[in-house]
Amino acid sequence: MVKEDASLKPVVTAKTSSVEETHNLAALLVEIFRPGDVVVLSGDLGAGKTSFTQGLGLAMGIETPITSPTFTLANRYEGKLVLNHLDVYRLDRFQEVEELGLSELIDSNSLTVIEWGDVISSVLSEGFLEIRLRLGENQDSRVLDFILIGQRWVEREIELVSLVSSFSIENGE
């Protein structure tokens, strides 16, 4: 089982200046995903987790508008890959996590995106990409830290850093 290690540092940090830029950043990432991948989105309410997922959906050719899976916990969309979109904000008991049936959702032809997923990351045995979102210096800017958990993601570090380089704020920018 892969446990999140508090000492793990982001491999890259990106900044967006509008919701459109967050969509564009998400769209770049579509190229790196493999069937069976899990993306954990963390960050406060309003940080942009759902907006990021909507950008992914657009880039994956999903025509149904992506909304927060408030009452269902998980939505499933057909795109280039199947997109499972979960929001586990209200889950506070491990029991409920089990009831989600994560292992059935995370199958070999889908991408699974979990908002507030840091709460359940300890049960994600195959590793995942964590994107931590936070507010930037003004109302429309957001800062996104990319953290790789597990070999499945660590081996994609160079590719990831290169993909998001146009949004990267590393090197003291």
Q: Where on the chain is the footprint of ligand ADP (CB under 6 A)?
A: 16, 18-19, 21-22, 43, 45-51, 115, 140-142
Indicate whether 142 belongs to the interface with Mg ion (CB under 5 A): no
How distant, in Å, are the alpha carbons of 9, 24, 122, 153, 161 from that of 94?
26, 34, 11, 25, 33
Q: Which does 141 bind (CB under 5 to 8 A by kind): Mg ion, ligand ADP, none?
A: ligand ADP
Residue 126's CB is within 10 A of a number of other CB atoms, namely 16
Q: Is 89 exposed, middle or buried (0-12, 13-18, 19+ CB in 10 A)?
A: middle
Cβ proximity to ligand ADP, 18 vs 122, nearer residue: 18
Indicate whether 141 belongs to the interface with Mg ion (CB under 5 A): no
**What does DSSP say about strands 128-135 and 38-42: parallel, antiparallel, or unpaired?**
parallel
Length of the chain: 173
In the complex, minimum distance from the CB of residue 21 to ligand ADP, in angstroms, rounded to a whole number: 6
C-alpha 92/C-alpha 57 separation (Å) is 27
Residue from 13, 17, 24, 68 binding Mg ion (CB under 5 A):
68
Q: Which does 19 bind (CB under 5 to 8 A by kind): ligand ADP, Mg ion, none?
A: ligand ADP
* Segment 42 to 61, residues that bind Mg ion, using CB under 5 A: 49-50
Interface positions with Mg ion (CB under 5 A) = 49-50, 68, 115
